[in-house]
Amino acid sequence: MRNGWIRGGAAWVGVGMIWGGVGETVAAVESPAAPAQSLILFIGDGVDDHQLTIARNYLFGNVAAADGFSFDRFDARAAAVVQTVSEQDGVTPVYVGDSASGGTAIAAGTVTSRGRIATTARTDRDVPTVLELAQAAGLRTGLVTTSSITDATPASFVAHIALRYCEGPGDMAGMRGGVRTGCPDDVSTAGGPGSIAEQIAASGVDVLLGGGTKPFSQPTASGETPLQAARAAGYSVVEDRAGLLGADAKRPLLGLFGPGTLPVEWAAQGGAQAEPVRVSATGEIVYPEAQTCVPNPDFGNRPTLEEMTRKAIELLGADGARFFLMVESASIDKQAHARQACGQIGETQALDRSVQAALDFAETHPETALLVASDHGHAAQIVPIPSMFAALPPMLGPQLPPGRVAVVKMPRGGVMGVSYGSNQGYAEEHTGTQTPVFGQGPGTESVRGLIRQADLFDVMRRALGLEVSPPQP
Amino acid sequence: MRNGWIRGGAAWVGVGMIWGGVGETVAAVESPAAPAQSLILFIGDGVDDHQLTIARNYLFGNVAAADGFSFDRFDARAAAVVQTVSEQDGVTPVYVGDSASGGTAIAAGTVTSRGRIATTARTDRDVPTVLELAQAAGLRTGLVTTSSITDATPASFVAHIALRYCEGPGDMAGMRGGVRTGCPDDVSTAGGPGSIAEQIAASGVDVLLGGGTKPFSQPTASGETPLQAARAAGYSVVEDRAGLLGADAKRPLLGLFGPGTLPVEWAAQGGAQAEPVRVSATGEIVYPEAQTCVPNPDFGNRPTLEEMTRKAIELLGADGARFFLMVESASIDKQAHARQACGQIGETQALDRSVQAALDFAETHPETALLVASDHGHAAQIVPIPSMFAALPPMLGPQLPPGRVAVVKMPRGGVMGVSYGSNQGYAEEHTGTQTPVFGQGPGTESVRGLIRQADLFDVMRRALGLEVSPPQP
């Protein structure tokens, strides 16, 4: 961060010039007749049409809305173009985003470069987020995730920092893979707001649930950890499912249920991995053995995303208060990176069940707006098993995917082939596809056709009737 | 084909039991207050959210609806689940379709196995198509494509045959890659309706435009070619752009502008191909040289898809007649199979311009319904260039896509990486993602949320007020 914007105050410097992103026209977003009482935003990290189809095929069959995900039945549906720019010039489109640029686009309506948390590409200016606007307007706020609460998606709503990897005080001068990943301008002793964990501890957000004991336990130069700072700021801290379920609304709540990314709900039985398809000595194509999806034996005593969502809604909505809540199913992305089809499916189910929790609340609180969005596309593709070209003569070469393949045993019979073909190295890549958006409730009527990811900031802001004021002298 | 259904007549045998596909609930499709005067269905073969994003990024930038494709601005938008079943049991879901199963789902509302043209999986029963219902109701009809007019997509609207490869009389006993690809039950001397070309020649469809001189020139057992049969049935035959532009509405029109698939509009300069990413001797990742998209030098004297569409609309809509027209941009799929990113982009532009031609007609004929749909997903994915993991230490392996990559030089600066990672052999595979659907005009209000591909038959049938009658004694 480097600008005159004052957190929680009214002086939103630089908003005017950032508003339209990289010269695009902001879609015509209408303000609803009456603002929503509350808004719950879900982010399926790495969700695109393909990842949704993979999970829906497994969970429900290849069915239409009536039998599919809860959000398949939402009234509003759109596609969102992902916009990211080069950090070098702050203007050239890059076509594939990450959770930091996508999170910043959604949270703050600003097109930025990959890795940046609510700051502008190249110029490193802080940009206000919908959560901060909601706070300033007196709404309660919450962030829920299955990743570390300091990870890029939740961070984009509450922190402002040059690099997503500066999660805790110990990361501020870090190196990753030979590249400097630190955030020297943001270190608190240099007058900056500190690491993401430090910023979260000072945020005043009412409910914070996810992983993150690691970044929260690293001491700053003053010797204080973000966890100590959070307690000093009045947070009640819980570290397991029982602690969460027993929490009340008397104090703001910080739930840290693991060191970083939380264990996922599903895994492949026996730890099966996606593997390359082989050609046998006799020239036969040999697919990896079919995987059976089972509950993850290492799930531990963390709460589910659905439990976190229900608790967050209960605490935030107590006494009829207005609130803004962001809920992220983070490991759809992380399991896709790791080529874990069963893991992806289980985390997409977790997203769906959490949305259902919000629908249950909306049933008795109809002035609640719900949005389901995504930050970027991902690599997994459903491919034919065997190849559609399997009958071609051998002189045309072996007909098999070049990357790793997971063959998933389907609960309704047969198998589904999932190909991971974007990177043969460390992990699969994000992809640049447009992503789906679903909306229901007051103010979500503008979620239609093709929008920019950054338009969602405006949709949320207007749905809640939040104003972005020009700087006051 | 093997059943009692009489083409063009009123006895639609078997419709009742096929109606709901494989036991799915048909979505609630509403009939409009007043039926549409005419309906134009566009099929982008192999189009999914990812293929659309690739083309839009190149043609318009990564922009929202106002600046994107014509159909990005349509009022109605949905996603369609692709449904295909095993030919063995006719029931088990297969998850990846082709143009025959997808075409049959859209044209006839019937979930079938890959390769089948308006016939049921396993039981080989003919199913009536929306084009045939329109004909029976007295509407003019037309089929336009950039593939052979005998290829799977157009064939699904007008022919009934066990296998898409039986395009001409010479294909009826054919072999492909060691597999029997013939259609012995459908041979005309065995009492069948003959090859797809023979069925088209006898169809009475008013406007037929595409490739196909090859299948239309093969003699049947009687010695007559489908082309001769078409002329005998009254068709005026044209074979180039000038012939098309000079055609009038006095006689039905058969335009065959090449032997099979027509040349595409765009190509990579110098015939550049997608290639594997290499690791140099010094360990550097070397991407293929960036491709420049140029007009295809081998385009020849065929009309463009836009020209074919404008002419078809002019002929069918003459004197205010009602009509049903299907227009396919076929080579979005074929260029994706061949890993030709520039080719894909050019054919998607052709789709967009053809839709614009229909929008121009709809402006003066507002009772025209427009639909844009797809038969299945495809392989190409936008990936980061360089890898998001490029900075990782060498011990984690080279970070590069396992398949072939096209690096496309973008008109607004920079490059876009397109990865083809579904098959390392002959051609890329179709994928199983849900696909986008766009609608505008009377009767397209049901195009919302998540529908089945087969629901589109019902949408079209109801939009035009066409009845599927039970068999009459």
DSSP state of B424: S
User: Within a 10 A sphere around the Cβ of A17, how many other Cβ atoms?
Assistant: 10
* Pair A226, A215: CB distance under 8 Å: yes
Which B residues in the span 182-211 are in contact with A, Cβ-Cβ below 8 Å? Answer: none
Place of tokens 């004909």: B135
**Cα A423-A424-A430 angle, rounded to 5 deg:** 15
Active-site option among A38, A70, A99, A156 = A99
Q: Which domains does chain B have, with CATH numbers?
A: 15-463 (3.40.720.10)
Torsion of CA A396, A399, A404, A407, to 10 degrees: -170
A449 token code pair: 């056709």
* Interchain contact, B434 vs A176, CB within 8 Å: no
Starting at the edge strand that comes first in sequence, how are the strands of the sheet with A435-440 ordered? A236-238, A253-256, A207-211, A140-148, A323-329, A38-44, A368-373, A435-440, A76-81, A448-452
Interchain CB contact of A383 with B (< 8 Å): yes
* Pair B109, B83: CB distance under 8 Å: no
**Confidence bin at A34 (pLDDT 50/70/90):** confident
Place of tokens 């550097």: B284
From B61, which residue of chain A is nearest by alpha-carbon distance? A93
User: Within a 10 A sphere around the Cβ of A3, how many other Cβ atoms?
Assistant: 15
Of B393, B401, B417, the CB nearest to A178: B393
* Interchain contact, B93 vs A414, CB within 8 Å: yes
Q: pTM for the whole thing?
A: 0.94
The dihedral built from the CA positions of residue A53, A55, A58 and A64, taken in this order, carries a sign that is negative
A193 token code pair: 């707001």
Which H or E element spans position B79? strand B76-81
Is residue B99 annotated as part of the catalytic site, yes or no?
Answer: yes
Q: Give, for all 473 residues of chain B, the pLDDT tens digit.
A: 444 333 433 333 333 333 333 333 345 677 777 899 999 999 999 999 999 999 999 999 999 999 999 999 999 999 999 999 999 999 999 999 999 999 999 999 999 999 999 999 999 999 999 999 999 999 999 999 999 999 999 999 999 999 999 999 999 986 655 556 689 889 988 889 999 999 999 999 999 999 999 999 999 999 999 999 999 999 999 999 999 999 999 999 999 999 999 999 999 999 999 999 999 999 999 999 999 999 999 999 999 999 999 999 999 999 999 999 999 999 999 999 999 999 999 999 999 999 999 999 999 999 999 999 999 999 999 999 999 999 888 889 899 999 999 999 999 989 999 999 999 999 999 999 999 999 999 999 999 999 999 999 999 999 999 987 644 44
Reduced to 3 states (helix: H, G, I; strand: E, B; else coil), residue B75 is coil
d(CA B173, CA B102): 24
Of A24, A61, A421, the CB nearest to B421: A421
> What are the Cα distances from residue A18, in Å, to A133, A164, B94?
16, 20, 47
Question: b/e string for B288-309 if b means 16 or more Cβ within 10 A?
Answer: bebbebeebeeeeebbbbbbbb
**Cα A391-A393-A396 angle, rounded to 5 deg:** 110
From A433, which residue of chain B is nearest by alpha-carbon distance? B50
ipTM: 0.93
Q: Across the strands, what pairs with B77?
A: B438, B448
pLDDT in tens, B186-245: 998 888 999 999 999 999 999 999 999 999 999 999 999 999 999 999 999 999 999 999
Amino acid at A270: G
The dihedral built from the CA positions of residue A364, A367, A368 and A371, taken in this order, carries a sign that is positive
d(CA A314, CA A206): 12
Q: How far is B224 from chain A (nearest CA, A)?
A: 32
Q: Which of chain B's residues have a Cβ under 8 Å away from the Cβ of A73?
A: 449
Interchain CB contact of B383 with A (< 8 Å): yes
HSE value, Cβ hemisphere, 13 Å, CA-based, for A225: 10
Active-site option among B38, B99, B113, B147 = B99
* Interchain contact, A403 vs B421, CB within 8 Å: yes
DSSP state of B276: E
Place of tokens 């299907």: B326
Start-to-end CA distance of chain A, whole Å, equals 21
* Pair A167, A199: CB distance under 8 Å: no
Omega into A276 within 30° of 0, i.e. cis?
Answer: no
Interchain CB contact of A44 with B (< 8 Å): no
Q: Across the strands, what pairs with A75?
A: none
Q: To 10 degrees, what angle do helices A49-60 and B49-60 make?
A: 170
Q: Which of chain A's residues have a Cβ under 8 Å away from the Cβ of B113?
A: none
Q: How far is A320 from chain B (nearest CA, A)?
A: 31
* Interchain contact, B429 vs A92, CB within 8 Å: no
Which B residues in the span 263-282 are in contact with A, Cβ-Cβ below 8 Å? Answer: none
Give a three-class secondary structure readout of chain A: CCCCCCCCCCCCCCHHHHCCCCCCCCCCCCCCCCCCCEEEEEEECCCCHHHHHHHHHHHHCCCCHHHCCHHHHCCEEEEEECCCECCCCCCCECCCCCHHHHHHHHHHCCCCCCCCECECCCCCCECCCHHHHHHHCCCEEEEEEEEECCCHHHHHHHCCECCCCCCCHHHCCCEECCEECCCHHHCHHHCCCCCHHHHHHCCCCCEEEEECHHHHCCCCCCCCCHHHHHHHCCCEEECCHHHHHCCCCCCCEEEECCCCCCCCCEEEHHHCCCEECEECCCCCEECCCCECEEECCCCCCCCCHHHHHHHHHHHHCHHHCCEEEEEEECHHHHHHHCCCHHHHHHHHHHHHHHHHHHHHHHHHCCCEEEEEECCCECCCEEECCCCCCCCCCHHHCCCCCCCEEEEEECCCCCEEEEEECCCCCCCCCCECCCEEEEEECCCCCCCEEEEECCHHHHHHHHHCCCCCCCCCC
